[in-house]
Structure 1
């Protein structure tokens, strides 16, 4: 079913893409309430998909660095390689947080060698602040250039493991130092690698190679993965909200708000237990109902409360989400006066419940109650609801608790027929075919394709519930 998810989603983008100019030119659209989607769950909904390999301060990659000082201010007509320097200083520390200070008194040019441990495609980011105004060459290729007061232009370069390659940095101003950062762009599974080297998700970048920030889909995160920004991949990590937001942003004429309220290492049977949940007995123990504490206690004994209670995370996450919406104009002044409509909820969770048989056995009942409670609490009875299963769990799993959770998530799908009230308004995405390896407790090894494809699939599922195509 999901084998061709990338192709089918690309078709959705083609069919539903509406230019921002067209949207802004329609007065009726400008007056429509904002469409809101509330996303929640535990750490994988928080997001752990790596955007790139992570930039790090450079240092040990550079061999024999030295800075030469030439007379006068920088002159683009001068060939500094054939000019006698006023002084040359061997740099004992290059990079890190406290590089050897450069001498002043002229134009500074740093030379030496680069040796990388792992073969790959790299981006160099020399300088910090004013010292970024320089040109850097690696192996004779310009990899960074920033004129004084101008834009930054960078070109990636492929380097081989263990091979020494000459480098040179020519600084354009008196602000020069050995600070710099290096990032590997083609780390397998990162979003940068998928877009740049595999041609996937081309709509995420513009023709300059920059991440696009949509100005019709806004992201607001509370509790964990906090932030307020137009939806973009321009951050260290992504969750399913990126793909989900693109699908719904392309569908709606009016703007979309993605409101995410999640926290890692939380179970539905304890931390996220919805209000109104009753205590129950399982395997000789009493399991807490909403606002009771602790999680369990032996039957026939008195519970000894701890500094947490059943449903505490539910209260924290959805209380924070309600606070955002109750102060909508203050939080989103660019939409002041337009109001909002909650169109749907998305839930991706279940990892912590699989370690507790009592929670796993109760998962279906708790999930049904969660769906009903959220709709009631947010006064959104018509809001659609999409659930994502755990990526590592296949239908043929022999793991008892994981099977209980998977079956519970599949059972609430309106098309399954078990809950007639959910027909046409609740859908479950079976994510196992979309997982690129790893498991929920290892955050799927940070593979961005897993997060992107699951987000796209959950968005497409939501779109189907809304009657879109």
Structure 2
């Protein structure tokens, strides 16, 4: 394990500790990003298997944070204001981690395959913050593997294997692999070949395609280990009463199914809440928020998740806007939540 960076001052340390104590579950405050060092430009120890972290969710995991531009909310503006200094070098150019690969696939197509860096001409998601913390923590090579697409719900598109049909408000809802017709609900969905869990199947198969061709995505790799998962999702489910009401049950099954699918029973799992939803919220958004916080191992509701599942409370990290508007494409929101998710993943390893 790499030596963690030191915090700047006792006051900084005290502030972070108080934030964590006052706002459980993990994590209500972003990591002190200024304490992260610049990358040293050195490759990882390639004699060791690659630590693979699979990122899933919908459009905000996909990433809509604007990088280029001088307006407030862009990553360029943030770094010029002194934020996230590890992302730029002394000449103002974007830094690159040579020990973390950043790969994104969507519906079996490659969209990114490079070393981890901010792309000046594109957009970012939480993968930059997640990958930066993981690269600092592990001596092993790290692969951040994002497999997702926008506008997908956990209660339908991403419904995991093992999910059974159920009744809600007098209507039968389909289980994994079923359609509303086969479940007997009489409801119809667009797409003749769509079924509950179709996007789960596609995202998992897309990720497997990368792993089966690992040398293409991490040159020099000597095997891999599925070390963890990161999940940022929930927007689409808040428009469906049945999906919101069963979000917690589906999320628990999602975690278990991921570990089973990749034969990784000890892989860590971190999820982030929707940035606009505050604790105490009611209605469908409140149901989803409470579900996401409930799976945190420190909450005590699921003893089997203690020390291996963490939730990131995203509201204090968000710079405004809502999930359905991609938080105004504010890059700081994506960086803050990504850093918190990466910190939470590292924290689960440090607590072992």
CA separation in 1, counterparts of 2:181 and 2:300?
32
Does the CA-based 8 Å contact 1:273-1:311 persist in structure 2? yes
Does the CA-based 8 Å contact 2:165-2:183 persist in structure 1? no
Partner-residue secondary structure (3-state), 1:418: coil
> Which is richer in strand?
1
Partner-residue secondary structure (3-state), 1:227: strand
Partner-residue secondary structure (3-state), 1:267: coil
User: Is the alpha carbon distance of 1:464 and 1:296 closer, same or farther for their aligned partners in structure 2, counting shifts above 3 Å?
Assistant: farther
CA separation in 1, counterparts of 2:188 and 2:98?
51
User: Is the alpha carbon distance of 1:307 and 1:294 closer, same or farther for their aligned partners in structure 2, counting shifts above 3 Å?
Assistant: farther
* Equivalent residue, structure 2, for 1:95: none
CA separation in 2, counterparts of 1:192 and 1:346?
26
Does 1:227 find its partner at 2:112? Answer: yes
* Equivalent residue, structure 1, for 2:3: none
Q: Deviations over 1:194-221 (max 9, x none)?
A: 001x110111112221111211110111
Deviates more, 1:30-39 or 1:423-432: 30-39
- Extract unaligned runs of 5+ from structure 1: 53-184
* Equivalent residue, structure 1, for 2:200: 314
User: Is the alpha carbon distance of 1:347 and 1:264 closer, same or farther for their aligned partners in structure 2, counting shifts above 3 Å?
Assistant: same
* Equivalent residue, structure 2, for 1:391: 275
Q: Tell me the CA shift for residue 465 of structure 1.
A: 0.2
2:266 to 382, 390, 400: 382
1:10 to 13, 16, 34: 34
Q: Tell me the CA shift for residue 49 of structure 1.
A: 0.3
User: Is the alpha carbon distance of 1:314 and 1:302 closer, same or farther for their aligned partners in structure 2, counting shifts above 3 Å?
Assistant: closer
Q: Tell me the CA shift for residue 297 of structure 1.
A: 7.2
Q: Deviations over 1:98-138 (max 9, x none)?
A: xxxxxxxxxxxxxxxxxxxxxxxxxxxxxxxxxxxxxxxxx
Partner-residue secondary structure (3-state), 1:466: helix
* Equivalent residue, structure 2, for 1:252: 138
* Equivalent residue, structure 2, for 1:211: 94
Which structure has the larger Rg?
1
Q: Deviations over 1:27-71 (max 9, x none)?
A: xx331111110000000000000002xxxxxxxxxxxxxxxxxxx
Partner-residue secondary structure (3-state), 1:392: coil
Does the CA-based 8 Å contact 1:251-1:468 persist in structure 2? no
CA separation in 1, counterparts of 2:29 and 2:159?
36
Q: Deviations over 1:61-108 (max 9, x none)?
A: xxxxxxxxxxxxxxxxxxxxxxxxxxxxxxxxxxxxxxxxxxxxxxxx
Q: Deviations over 1:148-194 (max 9, x none)?
A: xxxxxxxxxxxxxxxxxxxxxxxxxxxxxxxxxxxxx3211000000
2:306 to 419, 423, 427: 423
CA separation in 2, counterparts of 1:437 and 1:302?
36
CA separation in 1, counterparts of 2:145 and 2:133?
15
Q: What TM-score do you get using the length of structure 1 for normalisation?
A: 0.65
Deviates more, 1:286-295 or 1:228-237: 286-295
> Which is richer in helix?
2
Count of equivalent residues: 323
1:32 to 41, 45, 48: 48
Q: Tell me the CA shift for residue 397 of structure 1.
A: 1.7
Q: Tell me the CA shift for residue 20 of structure 1.
A: 4.4
1:183-194 equivalences in 2 (<5 Å): 185-194=69-78
CA separation in 1, counterparts of 2:56 and 2:134?
17
Does the CA-based 8 Å contact 1:287-1:296 persist in structure 2? no
Alignment RMSD = 2.2
* Equivalent residue, structure 2, for 1:368: 252
CA separation in 1, counterparts of 2:260 and 2:28?
36
User: Is the alpha carbon distance of 1:414 and 1:302 closer, same or farther for their aligned partners in structure 2, counting shifts above 3 Å?
Assistant: closer
CA separation in 2, counterparts of 1:287 and 1:307?
17
